[in-house]
Amino acid sequence: MRLHFDPAALRERYTTADPFPHIVLDGLFDDADLDAVLREFPSPDQMKWMRFDNAQEKKLGFFYATSTISDAVRRFLDAMNSFEMLLFLEALTGIDGLIPDPYFGGGGLHQIEPGGFLKIHADFNVHPKLKLDRRLNMLIYLNKDWREEYGGHLELWDAEMRECRKRILPLFNRTVVFSTSDRSYHGHPHPLTSPEGVTRKSVSLYYYTAGRPEEERSAAHDTIFV
């Protein structure tokens, strides 16, 4: 699988981004690779999704242990956990020793139906099985012909939760990578307004390290909605 950017050339842009280290990359992957995933991306009734429906989130999540996915989707997920992807992300972010999540806990395929949302939050910080520190998120969007009025923007908020500093439309072959900490607040808080049957599709990958900088340490916690 080919990656279309030089990560080292983007590191300064990544590390100095506001409101926390992140980058938005259009065309990181070959369109054909993502077309193969999109063709076999399961609809809401084709797979046993984890359904969340509460005041903080209304979405469909991926549970690897019980999900039946195609070979093409499985190959793509495995490639996102490969050493090539890890070396790319390390060169981009400056975070050394990244470890992928073989369980895809909380990650994998995500889908939001019309009316769905994910309120602003900071992510859980320790892997429940592996006890590793969560350091990095990569979100890959698969939405062709997505219109501004459909919503579903990923919002990045400042550390004091005073304002949204960036809104990112979830367009096909748009990838967002960002560092996770107790103050990397993000989400898409406004209900999706896409037409009936048009869902917001993405692939979410989370990466870990054995330890983290002292200034980022905190007690293990679940997702913090704010």
Q: Does position 63 have pLDDT exceeding 80, yes or no?
A: no
153: domain CATH number? 2.60.120.620
**Is 223 part of a structural domain of the chain?**
no
What integer best gives the mean pLDDT of the chain? 94
Q: Which domain holds residue 121?
A: 8-211
- DSSP lists the bridge partners of residue 124 as none
**Is 217 part of a structural domain of the chain?**
no
Q: Does position 156 have pLDDT exceeding 90, yes or no?
A: yes
Return phi, psi of residue 78, to 5°. -65, -40
Q: What is the pLDDT of residues 75-116, one digit of tens each?
A: 999 999 999 999 999 999 999 999 999 999 889 999 999 999
**Is 222 part of a structural domain of the chain?**
no
Q: In terms of pLDDT, which residue wins out, 98 or 219?
A: 98
pTM exceeds 0.85: yes
Per cent of the chain over pLDDT 70 is: 99
215-to-30, 58, 100 alpha-carbon distances in Å: 38, 33, 23
Q: What is the mean pLDDT of residues 135-159?
A: 97
**Is 226 part of a structural domain of the chain?**
no
Q: What is the pLDDT of residues 132-141, one digit of tens each?
A: 999 999 999 9
Report cis status (omega within 30 of 0) of the bond before 195: no
**Is 201 part of a structural domain of the chain?**
yes
Q: Does position 64 have pLDDT exceeding 80, yes or no?
A: no
pLDDT of residue 127: 92
- Counting Cβ atoms within 10 Å, is residue 30 exposed (0-12), middle (13-18) or buried (19+)? middle
Considering its fold, how many domains does the chain have in total?
1
Q: Does position 153 have pLDDT exceeding 90, yes or no?
A: yes
Q: Does position 214 have pLDDT exceeding 90, yes or no?
A: no
Non-local (6+) Cβ contacts of 57 within 8 A are 117, 118, 119
Non-local (6+) Cβ contacts of 208 within 8 A are 98, 99, 100, 101, 127, 130, 132, 133, 134, 135
Residue 146 amino acid letter: W
**Is 220 part of a structural domain of the chain?**
no
Question: What secondary structure letter does DSSP report for 8?
Answer: G
Strands (E), the chain: 22-26, 50-53, 57-61, 99-100, 108-112, 117-122, 133-141, 154-157, 164-168, 174-179, 186-188, 200-209, 224-225
In the chain, how long is the greatest CA-to-CA distance? Answer: 47
Q: What is the mean pLDDT of residues 39-63?
A: 90
Q: Does position 66 have pLDDT exceeding 70, yes or no?
A: no
Q: 3-7, 42-46, 145-149, 201-205: which range is least confident on average?
A: 42-46
**Is 77 part of a structural domain of the chain?**
yes
**Is 172 part of a structural domain of the chain?**
yes
Return phi, psi of residue 47, to 5°. -145, 155
Q: Does position 160 have pLDDT exceeding 80, yes or no?
A: yes
